Amino acid sequence: MKIENKIEASVREAIRALYGQEVPAAQVQLQKTKKEFEGHLTLVVFPLLKISRKAPEQTAQEIGAYLKEHEPAVAAYNVIKGFLNLTVASACWIELLDEIHAADRYGLTDAAPDAPLVMIEYSSPNTNKPLHLGHVRNNLLGNALANIIAANGNRVVKTNIVNDRGIHICKSMLAWKKFGGGETPESSGKKGDHLVGDYYVAFDKHYKAEVAELMAGGMTKEEAEAASPLMKEAHEMLVKWEAGDPEVRALWEMMNSWVYAGFDETYRKLGVSFDKIYYESQTYLEGKEKVLEGLEKGLFYRKDDGSVWADLTPEGLDQKLLLRADGTSVYMTQDIGTAKLRFRDYPIDKMVYVVGNEQNYHFQVLSILLDKLGFEWGKSLVHFSYGMVELPDGKMKSREGTVVDADDLIEEMIQTARETSGELGKLDGISQAEADDIARIVGLGALKYFILKVDARKNMTFNPKESIDFNGNTGPFIQYTYARIRSILRKAAEAGIVIPDRLPEDVQLSEKEEGLIQMLADFAAVVRQAGTDYSPSVIANYCYDLVKEYNQFYHDFSILREENAHLKLFRLALSQNVGKIVRLGMGLLGIEVPERM
């Protein structure tokens, strides 16, 4: 913020003039004045007492008087104990608003061609079921993080690893083969990922029935599970898949293609995209190769049964299985393989994995293993660990078919937005197409904002009804304020009012108006903090606070009816820039803002 820099330089000049000493910038501590005191910025004078050799109050008085006389940015000052509270002149706030007004992407930094390359992995679905509420949180966090990291001047590559192989995939395939009767997405009218998910549920149902029948015949639960013909067949199918059996591979490719078409549709609705998609079926062999290479170098060891392990006891962890006795890979092996391919494809400086907190230990181990295997970014990989998301009525389980489906949730949110907007009369007098688009923007905005405003590390309950409220800390409340600002600006344009590039300086601002400009200027620091802390919620809550302040201003002051022409221009420019910052901030979260509402 330029005002702080200007005053900091003047404080150093004051100390030189008053006490004949140079003072380093780090010793000049300026902070925002607390709400209960008068002023905008406060200078903490205690670090300067060795130089002044005077009492705190006297030092503060002397510096304050000097600034009032020599620095036009300081309009007034007051001293509370060892704190010098400074009131910034209106002309400075107007100058600052001009600077914000001139920058279309204020607070965002474009990446230079040689900027650090950050790769972000998110989504990571399985091809045996559709995306659910947990995936929604993952995708929204990953997408927002990618936007925020890019807004901090980094180059970003968004990647996805699809878990498209393994016993869970074979379960869906076998159930379709046995019970499907040739059903396809076209013949059933179902999205492909839903169709395949139905067969995953069907497998579980038949398997449980088999186990119950075997137990009724006298077997224990463990014996019955081991003897299940269906499970044995699924394992046989997996062995055939690994051996490249043409028939099994053809079935696998066909069913996966249905799932990918379904995923793409959900990603499109969520406004989420990827630069590169990796598939476990292509990375697990690479991982195996890398583990065997590590074994040769003595990084890992082989047990008598042929399995390969990493001994991580020197790092305070335990022994970690990398290859099973039969040579098949585990998740860790796949992640090592994926890392190898990614490092080959991109010169990665930092790798961020967006994965739930139940995998904290996995990523602790992965970081150590990648470092041992020579990946430069292994040690500094970031596991962006987030909490579980539930609905008010409890957890979700996919095998029983009671999962909270992402597509159903999106449709429900849009429908709720349509009904709520209709009841409040917000869709009156507009075309059906426009009403549908507003319902989509508001419904998805409510969903995204409600999820992203919560600190990602925390478990959360997503409440669809609460999220769509047009009051309070919600997406629709912020979107409605943006639409209100756009409406004011349209009316101003219709009245022939043009907002100039530089505003007249001869207007006296209220405390509320100065506070709003200060909040706008803070946006750059908020974007930096969100990037440093990997925290989309910082942006979400900033947008809410800004909009809340603006609504109070809108309530207390005239804008279009203001009689002083210069003050009217200022208030229109202030409104326009609040709208711009809201659009940029919500854009980082992947949330659209409507022109009308």
Q: Which domains does the chain have, with CATH numbers?
A: 2-88 (3.30.1360.70), 117-279+329-390 (3.40.50.620), 407-588 (1.10.730.10)
- The answer on pLDDT for 83 being more than 80 is yes
Residue 2 has pLDDT above 80, yes or no: no
For 382-414, give the secondary structure using H, E and C: EEEEECCEEECCECCCCCCCCCCEHHHHHHHHH
N-term to C-term CA, the chain:
34
In this prediction, residues 156-184 reach a mean pLDDT of: 95
- Residue 207's Cα: distance from chain center in Å? 39
Instruction: Please check whether residue 414 is in contact with residue 385, taking contact to mean a CB–CB distance below 8 angstroms.
Output: no
pLDDT at 353: 97
Q: Which of 199-213, 315-329, 357-371 is predicted least confidently?
A: 315-329
pLDDT of 576 > 80? The answer is yes
CA dist list (Å): 75 to 69, 93, 430, 522:
9, 12, 49, 21
The answer to whether the CB of 410 falls within 8 A of the CB of 270 is: yes
What is the Cα–Cα distance from 66 to 51, expressed in whole angstroms?
16
Kindly state the DSSP code that residue 463 receives in the 8-state scheme: -
Q: Cβ(99)–Cβ(10) under 8 Å?
A: no
> CA–CA distance from 80 to each of 33, 59, 60, 70, 112 (Å)?
11, 12, 9, 22, 46
Report CA-CA distances (Å) from 134 to 168, 355, 388: 18, 10, 7
Q: Is pLDDT above 50 for 161?
A: yes
Confidence of residue 463 (pLDDT cuts 50, 70, 90): confident
DSSP 8-state assignment for residue 116:
P
Which DSSP string do the residues of 122-148 spell out, in sequence order?
----BTTS--BHHHHHHHHHHHHHHHH
Structure tokens at 261: 């078409």
Of 163, 177, 165, nearest in space to 230 by CA: 177
pLDDT surpasses 50 at 398:
no
Helices 536-556 and 133-151 meet at what angle, rounded to 10?
80
Q: Please determine, for residue 394, whether its predicted confidence score (pLDDT) is greater than 80.
A: no
CA distance readout (Å), 178 to 127, 267, 411, 522? 19, 31, 32, 61
Q: Are 418 and 468 in contact (CB under 8 A)?
A: no
Strands, sheet with 276-279, edge to edge from the N-terminal-most edge strand: 276-279, 155-162, 117-121, 350-356, 382-386
What's the CA gap between 401 and 240, in Å, rounded?
28
Query: Which residues contact residue 575 at a Cβ distance below 8 angstroms, ignoring those fewer than 6 apart?
Result: 485, 488, 489, 550, 554, 559
Model confidence at 393: pLDDT above 80? no
Closest CA to 266 of 120, 452, 123, 474: 123
Give, for 362, the enclosing helix (H) or strand (E). Answer: helix 360-372
pLDDT digits (tens, 9 = 90+) for 206-253: 999 999 999 999 999 999 999 999 999 999 999 999 899 999 999 999
Q: Which residues of 113-152 are buried (b: 16+ CB within 10 A; e: fewer)?
A: eebbbbbbbbbbbbbbbbbbbbbbbbbbbbbbbbbbbbbb
The CA distance from 140 to 135, in Å, is 8
pLDDT digits (tens, 9 = 90+) for 509-562: 998 999 999 999 999 999 999 999 999 999 999 999 999 999 999 999 999 999
The reported pLDDT for the residue numbered 396 is 42
* Percent with pLDDT over 90 in the chain: 85
Q: What is the rounded average pLDDT of the residues 334-362?
A: 94
Band of the pLDDT at 403, cuts 50, 70, 90?
Answer: low
Q: Which two tokens stand for residue 394?
A: 């409890």
Q: Is the confidence at residue 25, as pLDDT, over 90?
A: no
Q: Distance of alpha carbon 423 from its chain centroid, rounded?
A: 31
pLDDT at position 97: 96
If pLDDT is split at 50, 70 and 90, which confidence band does 464 have? Answer: confident
Burial label, 548 (beta-carbon count in 10 A; 0-12, 13-18, 19+): middle
Q: Which residue has the tokens 């305070």?
A: 316
Once rounded to an integer, what is the mean pLDDT over residues 282-287?
Answer: 91
pTM reported for the whole predicted model? 0.90
Higher pLDDT pick, 402 / 386: 386
Q: What is the mean pLDDT of residues 561-585?
A: 97
Mean pLDDT score of the chain? 93
Does the pLDDT value for residue 337 go beyond 90? yes
Model confidence at 397, pLDDT cuts 50, 70, 90, reads very low
Report the pLDDT averaged over residues 262-266: 97
pLDDT of residue 100: 96
Mean pLDDT of 29-37: 90
Per the CB < 8 A criterion, the answer to whether 447 and 376 are in contact is: no
Q: How far is the C-alpha of 194 from the C-alpha of 187, rounded, in Å?
A: 13
What's the chain's Rg over C-alpha atoms? 30
Q: What is the 3-state secondary structure (H, E, C) of 287-300?
A: HHHHHHHHHHCCCC
Instruction: Tell me: pLDDT of 402 over 80.
Output: no
